[in-house]
Amino acid sequence: MAKSKDPNPDQGWYYNTRTGEVEHLERSRSIDLLGPYPDEATAKRALEIARERTKKADEEDAKWR
């Protein structure tokens, strides 16, 4: 898939859920991306971060009920 050639791209780092790669500056379609993250290392942890956030939200939902 072609990556964006935005002349003024945002500076965030993104994790591509389709390819499993981290992207910066030139990015794929937004539907395939998680982010932005402040740096490459954090973007590499995107799936772990998403799991942690989902677990926390599920726990908060359970308490609310």
**pLDDT score at 60:** 93
Strand boundaries in 1-65, DSSP class E: 13-16, 22-24, 33-37
Residue 11: what residue type? Answer: Q
Q: Average pLDDT of each block of 10 consecutive residues along the chain (65 residues)?
A: 71 96 93 96 98 96 87
